[in-house]
Amino acid sequence: MSIADIPQLQKLSKEEKLQIIEELWDSLDHDTEAWPMSDEEKAILDARLDEHEANPGTSLSLEEFKRQFAAMRPSWGARHGL
C-alpha cells in the first residue's frame, strides 16, 4: 500500500499528514516481543546506551527534546501543549 492508494491522503497538509503518522504510530503494539531486532541492532543500541551512561551530559532529557522539537515544529508543539 502507498499514499497513492488513498487519494484523500494526498490532499492533506503537511501538518495533517504528521498528525496521521503520529496516530498510526500510537496505534501500533509497542511490545518489544512484537518488534524483533537483529543482533546487530541490539549491539548498536547497547553501544548507544553505554555511551549515554559514560557521558550523560551529552544527551537531552525527554522534556528538553520535546521543547526543542516543538520550536522546530510549532504545529506539533501546539498539539502537545508546548
pLDDT tens per residue, range 21-75: 988 888 887 776 777 889 999 999 999 999 999 998 888 888 899 889 888 888 8
CA–CA distance, 30 with 13 (Å, rounded to integer): 27
CA–CA distance, 28 with 34 (Å, rounded to integer): 10
3-class SS of residue 2 = coil
Question: How far is the CA of 3 from the CAs of 10, 58, 76, in angstroms?
Answer: 7, 38, 22
CA–CA distance, 28 with 21 (Å, rounded to integer): 11
Which residue blocks in 1-82 are alpha helix, DSSP H?
Answer: 7-10, 14-27, 39-54, 62-72, 74-79
pLDDT of residue 81: 79
